[in-house]
Amino acid sequence: MLSINWSDVINVLTSVAPHLIAIGIALIIGIVVTVAVNTRTVRATSVRKLVHGETWLAVLVAVVARRARFPPLPTSEI
Please give the residue that has the higher pLDDT: either 77 or 60: 60
Condensed to tens digits (0 to 9), the pLDDT of residues 4-48 reads 888 888 888 888 888 888 889 999 999 998 888 887 788 888 888
Residue 36, domain member (yes or no): no
Residue 4, domain member (yes or no): no
**pTM above threshold 0.85:** no
The number of folded domains in the chain is 1
Residue 59, domain member (yes or no): yes
What SS3 string covers the chain?
Answer: CCCCCHHHHHHHHHHHHHHHHHHHHHHHHHHHHHHHCCCCCCCCHHHHHHHHHHHHHHHHHHHHHHHHHCCCCCCCCC
What is the pLDDT, as a whole number, of residue 54? 92
